[in-house]
A = this chain, B = another copy of it.
Amino acid sequence: MTRFSRNLLAEWQKLELPLAKANVVVGVSGGADSTALLLALTELMKAEKISLNLLVAHLDHNLRGERSKDDAKWVSKLAARLNHRFVLKRENVALRAQNNNDNLEQSARRARYEFLAKVAHKEKAQIVLTGHTKDDQAETVLLNLLRGSGIDGLAGIEPVRLLNERPSTLLVRPLLRWARRAETQKYCADEGIVARQDEMNFDEAYSRVRVRRQLLPLMETFNGRVVEALARTAWLLRDDANSLTGDGIRLLRTASEKAAEVSGPAGVRTKAAKNKVPALCVEVLATATPALRRRALRNWLAQGRGDLRRLELVHLLAVDGLLAKGRGGRVVELPGGARVLRKGRLLQFLGQPAEGKAGRAGNDSDERSEK
């Protein structure tokens, strides 16, 4: 067995993934990373280290005409040669981006994960694999840093996360924590495979490409192991972020339970209760740390509004400001029209005012967002 596939097996065990009887979908673009992943999985299956029901999935993004089709054919042939089943979908990602007013990279990513989720569902797959490496991790951390992300962005790509709730499918990146891109390339070459080159990997119009080709090389002049350093930081921050997220959820629960006590049975019939968003107890929140309070409020607002779209830090801080002394009776209006009211010891989510709803028909509600 090669060192690369032994490393993959070690990570597979660390991640406590099943060694047998799992339906697994592997996303393969034809680039060196996902090709190396597929080759190493095949090696482990042949050596009877793992026994998976494996399906190779390829999305043709249709961004580069004939070359896109050639990539798809190439992956299809590789899968056939390795004795794996293969599924292909062609999608016009450029059109999708245009329709959704989205950028091309984001649109391509969404199309890929939707495709993988659909295939996984049909296949009753427990696991979906992608070939992200440590280099992808470092790039993601930097792209998020350039945006001024908080801890969740800086924690980068998750090695394992839930892709679907039901049936529960895991999205796993088994190369993320150990493999460098140079290693996937070398492994492909050693196996006699010439992986496909995505020309977009050289188009410096994409921020990710510039991070890879300009920013990281400059950072390497400070620390030759900066990719490792960034991956380590991401890993530490991921644990920190998970800890804070859990505690934020618990704080939210406590604050709403205490609010129910405070308001008593009369409180149940308030407008807030009608909206099914519980009121929160001010003291419980005010005595928590700002970090946990912001997380609790963020989750609460997501419940009330249905999502977090257009909710920025400034709005969160405005709601947080209602917890200070002497803010009884104050209201904060959120983008989209929902409002939060401080009433004595309670914080109430009011939803959109009725007149606001009527008045905004046909309007661009973006105009209403607080800055």
Hey, which bits of chain A sit against chain B, CB under 8 A? Answer: 145-151, 154, 207, 210-211, 214-215, 218-219, 221-223, 225-226, 228-230, 232-233, 236-237, 239-240, 242-244, 246-247, 289-292, 294, 313
Contacts and interface: CB of A to CB of B under 8 A. Distances in A.
A223 B247 CA distance: 33
Contacts of A289: 239, 242-243, 246
A148 B230 contact: yes
Given A150-B237, A230-B148, A222 B242 contact: no
Given A148-B228, A215-B218, A291 B154 contact: no
A290 B228 CA distance: 21
A223 B151 contact: no
B233 A210 contact: no
Q: What number of copies of this chain does the assembly contain? A: 2
Interface of A is mostly: helix
A112 to B, nearest CB: 24
A21 B232 CA distance: 47
Contacts of A229: 145-148
A218 B145 CA distance: 14
Given A146-B219, A210-B222, A291 B240 contact: yes
10 contacts: A146-B222, A146-B223, A146-B229, A147-B223, A154-B154, A210-B222, A211-B222, A215-B222, A239-B291, A244-B291
A239 B243 CA distance: 14
B226 A150 contact: no
Contact of A237 (B151, B223, B242, B294): B151
Contact of A149 (B148, B207, B233): B233
Nearest to A240: B291
Nearest to A219: B146
A149 B223 CA distance: 13
